[in-house]
Amino acid sequence: MGFSEGASTKPPRGTLFLWGFSLFHLIRIIRKGKPIMVTKSLRKNVVIRWSVVIITVFAICLIGSAAFAADAVSFKGTTKKIASFDFVTLTGKLTKPQGDGLFPAVVLMPGCSGIEKYHDDWAERLAAWGYVALLVDSLGPRGQKEVCENMFGVPFQFRAQDAYDAKAYLGGLPFVDRTRIAVMGWSHGGITILCSVSASNWAAWDDLNRTPFRRKKEDPFRAAIAFYPYCIAKLKDSNTPLLILAGELDDWCPPSSCEMNMPSGKTPKEVILKIYRGAYHGFDWEGIDLVYGQHRLLYNPEALADSIVQVKEFLAKQME
């Protein structure tokens, strides 16, 4: 399902707003039918107002265009390739905030089509918030371009271990605080997140797709975030605080699967489920609007905007 989005050429929304706001006030003056007397006071006022607008627009343009450069990285995994007995070498994209650190970090696990532009957007957001972001490619190193047609092309159990291997890699970097590493994933990667934090979910998927790989005991992540996953088993055993964000109209990974598996009482680690009314699968994928198989994927700007707030606040709370 590799539907990569091109880089946007639209001006920042803040820029359009500021210019539009200024033109709106100019039109108001004209529509009043009053002659515009170019007095010294008016000229000074116009210069000041437009100077502020231009400076603000310039600042927004700088912020909007300031992309965090991602570095290609590779590191050893602890699972073997499906077609051989060789241990996999995982690859990814590392995005780092400016400065020397120590920084908290987030492991990012994309969906069944691999790394897409909107995952890069999330990595840049995280870096802007002060987190090192590592986008992990679990597919390419195993000879897969996508696993949308066959979700077990790269089993969730393997990808869950990839997430922990990425955590170990990040923990060895001199600018990363190894005690503050979270994990975040989408769709197939969201299910991977549930497998990485919940033994019940790991076991349920392993019952459906037996692999020679056994679940390892790992130090838990500091926090976990899953976008529109399928929750196959109870979530009360999550070993870390868990935030699930889902779309009400998702027909690929219905949110009802998570609703029925939410804890009924207090748990050692909080589990939060937020469902966005009117939202479909892929609601945070800017520009997406298609039907894949029988499943609808549709961008929802309101859901994306709120999910950004939810993720930022959740990480700030759990990673302090």
- Has this prediction a pTM greater than 0.85? no
What per-residue confidence (pLDDT) applies to 216? 82
What per-residue confidence (pLDDT) applies to 164? 98
What per-residue confidence (pLDDT) applies to 17? 36
Query: From the CB of residue 23, how many other CB atoms can be counted at a distance below 10 Å?
Result: 10
Mean pLDDT of 252-267: 96
φ/ψ bin of 266: left (φ > 0), alpha (ψ from -120 to 50), beta (otherwise): beta
> Given a cut of 60, is residue 49 above it in pLDDT?
no
> Given a cut of 60, is residue 41 above it in pLDDT?
no
What confidence category does residue 83 fall into, taking pLDDT thresholds of 50, 70 and 90? Answer: low
Instruction: Give residues with Cβ within 8 angstroms of 239, minimum separation 6.
Output: 197, 198, 199, 220, 269
What confidence category does residue 320 fall into, taking pLDDT thresholds of 50, 70 and 90? Answer: confident
What per-residue confidence (pLDDT) applies to 211? 73
Per-residue pLDDT of 165-202, as tens digits, reads 999 999 999 999 999 999 999 999 999 999 999 999 99
- What would the two tokens of residue 151 be? 């979700």
> Given a cut of 60, is residue 18 above it in pLDDT?
no
